[in-house]
Amino acid sequence: MRVTKHEHACLRIESEGRTLLVDPGGFTLPLHDLRRVVGVVLTHEHPDHWTPEHLQRIVDAFPDVPIYAPAGVAAAAAGFRISVVSPGDRVDVEPFTLEFFGGTHNVIHSSMPTVDNVGVLVDGTFYYPGDSYAVPAGVEVGLLAAPIGAPWLKIGEAMDFVLEVAPRRAFGTHEMTLSRIGLDMHRQRLTWATEQGGGEFVALEPGESIDL
C-alpha cells in the first residue's frame, strides 16, 4: 500500500492498482492522474476537507465510485450519493478494508457548532483521524497521518495524541494554516512524540509518498 500526501488534508491511498481518496478539500489542488478510484472518504463537512468541485470531478471520471462520510456530510452534499458511516462501521472497498472511529470534530470554540467527524483506519494499519484525536483502541498503527496545525489544535494535545497512538511511523497533515516556521516547529514536536513509542516521523511534502 502506498500513501501519497497532497496539500492540507487530502490523501491518496493506492494498492493493487486501485485508489482510495480521502478529504479532497478547498486547500488542495485539483487531483490529476487518478487511476481506478474505488472509493472516497470524507471525514467531515468543513470545506477544507471536501468541495463540490473536487467531488464532481471525481464522480465525472468515476461515475459509480462510492463516497463514505458521516451524516453531516450527507446533508451538506445533498446533490451527491453519500453512503453514511458511523464509528464502529466496517466497509470493504476492494482491495481496501475501512474501519471508522470517533464521531465528532474537535471543538474550535463554544460559539461554533460541533460537527460529525469520523477517523478512518485502512487495512488495519494506516490511520487518519480527520479533525479529531479519536484513537483506534487496540490497533497497532503502522502509519499515522497526524493533524499538525488547525484552529482547534494545540500542539501539546497533538503530541499527546501521537503518544497515545504510538504508531510505527507518522507524518503531519492539515498543515496549510501554518507558516513554514510553524510547520517545522510542529514537526519537531511530533517527531519527539513519535520517537517515544519507538516510531519514526517522516516529513512528507505535498506529492510525496510512503509505502507500507
| CA 120, chain centre distance (Å) | 7
- CATH value of 2-206 in 3.60.15.10, 2.60.40.1580, 3.90.180.10, 3.40.50.2000: 3.60.15.10
pLDDT (0 to 100) of residue 28: 97
Residue 209 and residue 13 in contact, taking contact as beta carbons nearer than 8 Å:
no
pLDDT (0 to 100) of residue 140: 97
Q: What pLDDT, in 10s, does the model give residues 38-84?
A: 999 999 999 999 999 999 999 999 999 999 999 999 999 999 999 99
pLDDT (0 to 100) of residue 212: 94
pLDDT (0 to 100) of residue 119: 98
pLDDT (0 to 100) of residue 29: 96
pLDDT (0 to 100) of residue 153: 97
**pTM as predicted:** 0.97
Concatenate the DSSP letters of all residues of 146-202 into one string: EE---TT--HHHHHHHHHHH--SEEEEE--TTS-HHHHHHHHHHHHHHHHHTT-EE-
Cell matching residue 119: 477517523
Q: Which parts of the chain register pLDDT below 70?
A: none
